[in-house]
């Protein structure tokens, strides 16, 4: 196993609702990174799971007429099922109701107490159950309907007044700023980094970290009337997985995490609270947090009340899994908000997949099958046009690696598709079908150059579209052990027998109305 570790996490999902495309998006981004790093020789640990405590889940369970445990067992399963439906490849699925997690949260709490960062007080202020977040008066407003809402999120707030333990977050502002300064790559994209810097520079208030008015959570050690604030509990999942508090655990080698992938709505918890908790406990903060944007549906915010959430199952059924995976990461610059439009998805399917990539594979593989005895053709002397195309394909690994290290999925795909376009132009210019009679040796070389270019491109597309690329690599005769990036610089071996080619990316045809 490689000594280079890579630990990537999704947020753990609230189990108050079934998963929609927004949830699938965060996990998909992590899945692509985990797959890429595995192919690139890293010892990867990819974690996802569910966030099962708190008032929101307690309330959702009560309205479903179930105990919180029975309710969370049920909804957590739907997130586990999503893993299979979307072909995600996590190494583990964590639930905050597991005993190991209680132990980890309580151990972390005791460290915070030992550092002098926890004190008992009384909380009086606004709380949004939907966001599981405290708001100060100035962050709320009363709407025309007479209801008070949090301005940043639009969620209803209610007045909470109860004894509470506090974490001395106010004392951490300078140390956090020094940490951000020293670690410029800690928050991505830059716009989010600026947002966090100005928030912390504005001064921090102590954070209420326990509740007494309900009971669905992890008990505070030594004072069981209190349960831990759900965000302290939830964030801790990332170290529970690594064996905390047992730092001799074999999984502890993964800490600090290389990347916490989150949506833009939960960046403050990950970039302010979490590093402060960790530093207070004497633990290293994660190396990077990246916040992606939000999807809307044909211009509208997705919500339960508008009944317009997009569900991954429905999309996959209509368009196929790999096209959906491709579209979500190609269409919108990662980090920006995006509007989901069927028209755009169909455009990508027919343009990028069927016409560009699919057609390239189909043209080349079918000429090879017809003319080269169902074998990888022989490679003759190369001319400049050949080495130019091969060189561009070869340069892709470094380019994609650096784009993905910045979570720029859209740019990684764009550079790969530039080479696909180059290869299609090369097919037209070299016209291998015309060479059949005049110069069969040159035709073979042209086909070899194309097959080799498809091999390189396809190795890099694997993390995005695992099933389709497996089929293309089968058709090119690339063995399973030749599919990691360690084989990127090797070459297709002439003479290897090839199976009958099959189309991989069909054009989307609108189903006929019944
Ligand atoms: N439980 C917390 C996370 C705790 S992590 C220690 C939580 N859960 S969530 O289920 O509400 O959201 C999980 C993720 O889904 C977030 O990253 C959020 O940004 C993402 N999305 C939810 N709706 C979304 C869209 N409409 N579009 C894109 N992502 C969205 O927050």
The response to whether residue 25 sits with its C-beta less than 6 Å from ligand 1 reads yes
* Pocket of ligand 1 contains residue 17 by CB under 6 Å: no
Minimum CA distance residue for ligand 1 atom 21: 22
What is the structure's pLDDT at 1?
Answer: 64
Q: Which two three-digit tokens encode residue 351?
A: 């343009």
pLDDT of residue 44: 98
| Start-to-end C-alpha separation, the chain | 54
CA atoms within 13 A on the CB side of 324: 20
Q: In the structure encoding, which two tokens stand for residue 388, read together?
A: 């130019």
Which residue, judged by its Cα, is nearest atom 11 of ligand 1?
Answer: 14
Pairing state of beta strands 92-95 and 210-211? unpaired
Is the distance from the beta carbon of residue 234 to the nearest atom of ligand 1 less than 6 Å? yes
- State pTM to two decimals: 0.96
Nearest CA to ligand 1 atom 29: 22
Burial 118-156 (b: 16+ CB within 10 A, else e): beeeebebbbbbbbbbbbeeebbeeeeeeebbbeeeeeb
Contact 296, 339 (CB under 8 A): yes
Encode pLDDT of 356-384 as tens digits: 999 999 999 999 999 988 999 999 999 99
Q: Residue range 79-103: average pLDDT? A: 97
How far is 492 from 489, CA to CA, in rounded Å?
10
Mutate to test the pocket of ligand 1, among 13, 17, 340 (most ligand atoms within 8 A of CB): 13
243 lines ligand 1 (CB under 6 A): no
Q: Is residue 89 within 8 Å of 35, Cβ to Cβ?
A: yes
Backbone angles phi, psi at 345, to 5 degrees: -65, -45
pLDDT digits (tens, 9 = 90+) for 186-242: 999 999 999 999 999 999 999 999 999 888 999 999 999 999 999 999 999 999 999
Separation of CA 505 and ligand 1 centre (Å): 31
Q: Is 10 left (phi over 0), alpha (psi -120 to 50) or beta?
A: beta
* Cβ of residue 290 lying under 6 Å from some atom of ligand 1: no
Best mean pLDDT range from 37-51, 128-142, 302-316:
37-51
Q: Please provide the CATH number assigned to the domain covering 342-487.
A: 1.10.730.10
The CA–CA distances, whole Å, from 374 to 216, 378, 432, 456 equal 63, 12, 16, 20
Distance 43 CA to ligand 1 centre (A): 27
Provide the 3-class DSSP secondary structure of residue 261.
strand
Question: Given the CA of residue 274, which atom of ligand 1 is nearest to it?
Answer: 6
Q: What percent of the chain shows pLDDT beyond 70?
A: 99
pLDDT digits (tens, 9 = 90+) for 295-335: 999 888 887 777 889 999 999 999 999 999 999 999 999 99
pLDDT over threshold 80, residue 74: yes
C-alpha count within 13 angstroms, C-beta hemisphere, residue 371: 24
Cα(11) to centroid(ligand 1), Å:
7
- Reading the block at residue 260, the tokens are 């916490």
- Strand arrangement, sheet containing 338-340: 300-301, 295-297, 338-340
Higher pLDDT, 108 or 15: 108
Whose CA is closest to atom 16 on ligand 1? Answer: 263
Is 80 exceeded by the pLDDT of residue 488? Answer: yes
pLDDT at 514 over 60: no
């Amino acid at each position: 196993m490689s000594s280079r570790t890579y630990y990537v996490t999704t947020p753990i999902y609230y189990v108050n609702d079934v998963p929609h495309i927004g949830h699938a998006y965060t996990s998909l981004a992590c899945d692509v990174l985990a797959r890429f790093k595995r192919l690139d020789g890293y010892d990867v640990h990819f974690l996802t799971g569910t966030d099962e405590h708190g008032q929101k889940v307690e309330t959702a369970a009560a309205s479903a007429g179930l105990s919180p445990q029975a309710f969370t067992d049920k909804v957590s399963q739907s997130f586990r099922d999503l893993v299979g439906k979307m072909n995600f490849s996590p190494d583990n699925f964590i639930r905050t109701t597991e005993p190991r997690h209680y132990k980890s949260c309580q151990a972390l709490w005791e460290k915070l107490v030992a550092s002098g960062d926890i004190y008992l007080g009384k909380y009086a202020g606004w709380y949004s159950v939907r966001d599981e977040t405290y708001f100060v008066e100035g962050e709320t407003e009363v709407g025309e309907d007479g209801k008070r809402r949090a301005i940043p999120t639009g969620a209803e707030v209610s007045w909470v007044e109860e004894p509470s333990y506090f974490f001395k977050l106010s004392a951490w502002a300078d140390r956090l700023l020094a940490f951000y300064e020293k670690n410029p790559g800690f928050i991505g994209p830059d716009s989010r980094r600026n947002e966090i810097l100005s928030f912390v520079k504005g001064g921090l208030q102590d954070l209420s970290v326990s509740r007494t008015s309900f009971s669905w959570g992890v008990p505070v050690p030594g004072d069981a009337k209190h349960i831990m604030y759900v965000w302290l509990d939830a964030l801790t999942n990332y170290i529970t997985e690594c064996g905390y508090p047992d730092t001799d655990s074999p999984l502890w080698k993964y800490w600090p995490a290389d990347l916490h992938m989150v949506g833009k709505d939960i960046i403050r918890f990950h970039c302010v609270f979490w590093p402060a908790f960790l530093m207070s406990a004497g633990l290293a903060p994660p190396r990077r947090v990246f916040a992606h944007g939000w999807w809307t549906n044909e211009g509208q915010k997705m919500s339960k009340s508008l009944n317009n959430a997009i569900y991954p199952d429905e999309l996959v059924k209509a368009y196929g899994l790999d096209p959906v995976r491709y579209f979500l990461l190609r269409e919108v610059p990662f980090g920006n908000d995006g509007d989901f439009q069927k028209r755009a998805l169909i455009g990508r399917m027919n343009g990028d997949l069927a016409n560009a990539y699919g057609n390239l594979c189909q043209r080349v593989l079918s000429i090879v099958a017809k003319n080269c005895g169902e074998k990888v053709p022989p490679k003759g002397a190369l001319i400049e046009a050949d080495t130019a195309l091969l060189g561009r394909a070869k340069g892709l690994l470094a380019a994609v690696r650096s784009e993905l290290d910045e979570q720029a999925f859209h740019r990684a795909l764009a550079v790969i598709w530039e080479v696909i376009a180059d290869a299609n132009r090369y097919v037209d210019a070299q016209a291998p079908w015309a060479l059949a009679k005049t110069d069969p040796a040159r035709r073979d070389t042209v086909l070899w150059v194309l097959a080799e270019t498809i091999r390189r491109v396809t190795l890099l597309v694997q993390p995005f579209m695992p099933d389709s690329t497996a089929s293309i690599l089968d058709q090119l005769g690339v063995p399973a052990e030749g599919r990691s990036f360690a084989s990127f610089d090797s070459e297709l071996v002439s003479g290897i027998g090839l199976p009958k080619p099959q189309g991989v990316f069909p054009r989307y045809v609108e189903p006929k109305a019944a």
